[in-house]
Amino acid sequence: MSTANLNHEEEFNTDSFDISLWKKIFKLLWEHKRLLIILFTINIGVAVVDVAFPYLNKYAIDHFVMGSGKEDSVVLFIVLFVGFVVWQGINIFAFFHVAGSIEMNFAYEIRMKIMRKLQELSYAYYDKTPNGRIMARMTSDVNHIAEIMSWSLMDLFWGSTVMIGVTIVMLIVNWKLALIVLVIVPILAYISSWFQIRILKNYREVRKVNSLITGSFSEGISGAKTTKTLVLEQNNYQEFINLTGSMRHRSIKAALLNAIFMPLVLGLGAVSLAGILWYGGHQVLIKSLEFGTLMMFTQYSSQFLEPLRQIARLMAELQLAQASAERVISLLEEEPKVYDSDEVIAKYGTILDPKPAIYEKINGNIEFKHVYFHYNPQEPILTDFNLKVKAGQTIALVGETGSGKSTIVNMLCRFYEPIKGKILIDGIDYRQRSIGWLHENLGYVLQSPHLFAGTIKDNIRYGKLDATDEEIIAAAKYVNAHEFIMKMENGYDSDVGEGGGRLSTGEKQLISFARAVIRQPAIFILDEATSSIDTETEQIIQHAIETLLKGKTSFVIAHRLSTIVSADRILVIRKGKVIEDGDHDALMQRKGYYYRLYTNQFNEELSDRLLKIDK
């Protein structure tokens, strides 16, 4: 995965605290309630000891040092103290264990929920959402929320418990001294929240610039050839300097806020310490306060600072994490545009839990009946589109980009559904059967074939998960891929690299043919590639396509003349309408759009020669 993934995310409004959103997050967190309860218990344990230590010291001073505590009760004191130390050690270990479990399990569950949701969502979602955004939700957003919902939340809880505990002990022991400590609380709370939100916002800015810098490095490296041939070195360097300059500027700004904030916090601590020394010292002098108590208060006053800062930090974090939470929740609440009805699910199961045993066989008769479709209402793509295809026919769809030929195929595959009208497969509206049923019967080859990281064998087997090695080899032989596969170092076990990167475009196409063939599909969909492949591979591919399509109901978005010419039926699509329909000979005779398109594919000279021979 590229770390240079720039998370240019839509910004959600983070100004107001969205309670209903956090309720949803807490509901997800509550699924781990057993761990949560354990964690809260441990937390209280840790906080109790944190509160108790200064008190123990006070006891030691007043009793053993100043007073005349018995030597044997010192032993008891030591045992108690050691007990606390061990108890704290165990608690810290348990705390890590449980908080870690919550973080990881919470993140694990949310990821699974997202993944499940993504499997249900249809093309409409993917067409409008760039992969980088989905990726960011799955990784950084989930990590962010999980971290806050475990460690930070526990810090908040620990901080509050310590503060409450300390406050109670102080008030009981000496309420006047307690007030001197407590008086700084509101001031500190205000200062902390003022600074923390600004500090975090600044760091967020820094992170943004940082990801831009990473992006620049990545572009500088992968675009090196372009940079050199266009002599852009100077230009790019200037832009980069601006970025690093703004990075330095912002980082220093964030650090300065911190450099002011820390002394302020300590300053408040010093003020309350001075107050304790002044007032408490006086009380000790007039013997109305025990010496150990004074010591205890000095410790408490500094112990108060840390939890308060933690709480302020967490409040700021929560506010800033709201965008992450919003993105994750909005993905989880996304509704698929194409889905099965309840009756269909009852019969055929869901996508993730299907019942393939009862899938009906498909013969391959297809009918589009008064189909309407648009992505947005102003621009209708298909209007009252009708088409009847007999089983076993090869249909070549020809037309310009944007003519609607891809939409027809997407509609047939039920990646999108008609807005009005019906699509019948073997005479039955395909919405009466499940999505899984249709897709299980499809053989689909994309224009730019996507292979999965793994071996060639894995990739062909993707078409039929229980295929034997013999079946895989047979499929590869069928599409003439066997020969090049065997030439590779590890044959069928050769690694194709990420996205099939180690194979040439032509080789990727052949593998994707084999992957479709091994399914023995009832309907074949082929989106032909336009990019150039060297002439000899091209011939192999042509041959492969011919064998592939023979006698199967197939739809081809065709670019190669050979495919078009040998199709049973050619549909010329323009602005969502079939403007010409027939086989090659019939369409050539019409001397219409197809005729022009066909002759244009070749240069004038070739046509000239052709005409000469015709005469």
Partner 1 sequence: MNKKELLLKLFKGYIVIFLGIIIVTLGYVVFNLLNPLVFSFVIDNIIDQQPIKNPLISNLIIKLGGVSYLRSNLWITALFIIIIFLFIGTFLYFRGRWNAKLSEGVVERLRNWLYEHLSLLPYSYHVTAKTGDLIQRCTSDVNQLRRMLGNQISELVFALGTAIIAVFILFSIYPKMAWLSMISMPLIIIMAYFFFAKIQSVFQISDEAEGAMSETFQNSLNGTRVVKAFNRERFELEKFEKKNRIFRDNTLKVIRVLGAYWSLSDTICLLQILLIVIVGIFEARSGRISIGDFFVFVSYESMILWPIRNVGRVLADMGKVSIALDRILEILNEPIEDIENGLQPTLSGKIVFDHVYFRYDDANEDVLKDLTFTIMPKQTIAIIGPTGSGKSSLVHLLTRLYDYRQGHILMDDVELRSIQRKHLRRNVGIVLQEPFLFSKSIYDNIKIANPTAKQEQIHRAAQMASIHEVINEFDQGYQTMVGEKGVTLSGGQKQRIAIARTIINSCPILIFDDSLSAVDTETDAYIRDALKAVNDDITTILITHRISSIQNADLILVLDHGEIVQRGTHDDLIDQDGLYKRIYQIQSSILAKENE
Binding to partner 1 (CB under 8 A): which residues in 281-300? Answer: 281-282, 284-285, 291, 295, 298
User: Which whole-number Å values give the CA distances from 57 to 288, 290, 334, in the listed order?
Assistant: 19, 13, 58
Bridge-based pairing of strands 569-574 and 577-582 is antiparallel
With the C-alpha atoms ordered 452, 458, 460, 462, is the resulting torsion angle positive or negative?
negative
For the segment 114-173, give every residue that binds partner 1 (CB under 8 A).
115-116, 118-120, 122-123, 126, 130-132, 134-135, 138-139
For the segment 166-205, give every residue that binds partner 1 (CB under 8 A).
none
Smallest separation, CB 253 to partner 1 (Å): 9
**Cα–Cα dist 456/460, whole Å:** 6
Smallest separation, CB 112 to partner 1 (Å): 6
Is the CB of 210 or the CB of 383 nearer to partner 1? 210
Q: Tokens in use for 357?
A: 């045993």
Smallest separation, CB 434 to partner 1 (Å): 10
Q: Of the candidates 337, 450, 543, 550, which one interacts with partner 1 according to CB under 8 A?
A: 450
Tell me: does residue 263 bind partner 1 (CB under 8 A).
Answer: yes
Is the CB of 201 or the CB of 369 nearer to partner 1? 201
Site string for partner 1, 465-504 (x = CB under 8 A): x--------------------------------xx----x
- Selection from 145, 150, 108, 117 nearest residue 25 by Cα: 145
Tell me: does residue 380 bind partner 1 (CB under 8 A).
Answer: no
Residue 553 · residue 364 · CB < 8 Å: yes
Only one of the segments 304-312, 382-390, 546-554, 604-612 lies at the binding site for partner 1 (rule: CB under 8 A); that segment is 604-612
Only one of the segments 161-169, 194-202, 278-286, 422-430 lies at the binding site for partner 1 (rule: CB under 8 A); that segment is 278-286
Smallest separation, CB 119 to partner 1 (Å): 4
- Selection from 430, 525, 536, 540 nearest residue 476 by Cα: 540
Q: Of the candidates 370, 429, 600, 608, which one interacts with partner 1 according to CB under 8 A?
A: 600
Is the CB of 319 or the CB of 526 nearer to partner 1? 526
DSSP code, position 354:
B
Smallest separation, CB 18 to partner 1 (Å): 26
Helix (H, G, I), strand (E, B) or coil at 495: strand
3-state DSSP of 521-539: CCEEEEECCCCCCCHHHHH
- Selection from 422, 432, 414, 410 nearest residue 555 by Cα: 410
Residue 279 · residue 177 · CB < 8 Å: yes
Q: Of the candidates 442, 488, 578, 579, which one interacts with partner 1 according to CB under 8 A?
A: 442
For the segment 524-543, give every residue that binds partner 1 (CB under 8 A).
525, 530-532, 534-536, 538-539
Smallest separation, CB 467 to partner 1 (Å): 13
Is the CB of 15 or the CB of 466 nearer to partner 1? 466
Q: Of the candidates 19, 376, 613, 615, which one interacts with partner 1 according to CB under 8 A?
A: 613
Q: Of the candidates 89, 501, 551, 592, which one interacts with partner 1 according to CB under 8 A?
A: 89
**Cα–Cα dist 157/159, whole Å:** 5
Bridge-based pairing of strands 394-398 and 553-557 is parallel
Q: Of the candidates 14, 160, 251, 383, which one interacts with partner 1 according to CB under 8 A?
A: 251
Smallest separation, CB 17 to partner 1 (Å): 29
Helix (H, G, I), strand (E, B) or coil at 345: helix
3-state DSSP of 377-432: CCCEEEEEEEEEECCCCEEEEECCCCCCHHHHHHHHCCCCCCCEEEEEECCEEHHH
Is the CB of 37 or the CB of 453 nearer to partner 1? 453
Rounded to a whole number of angstroms, the CA Rg of the chain reads 36
Q: How is 536-554 classified by DSSP, letter by letter?
A: HHHHHHHHHHHHHHTTSEE
For the segment 329-368, give every residue that binds partner 1 (CB under 8 A).
351-354
Size, binding site for partner 1 by CB under 8 A: 158
Q: Of the candidates 216, 363, 365, 432, which one interacts with partner 1 according to CB under 8 A?
A: 216
For the segment 393-422, give every residue that binds partner 1 (CB under 8 A).
401, 413, 415
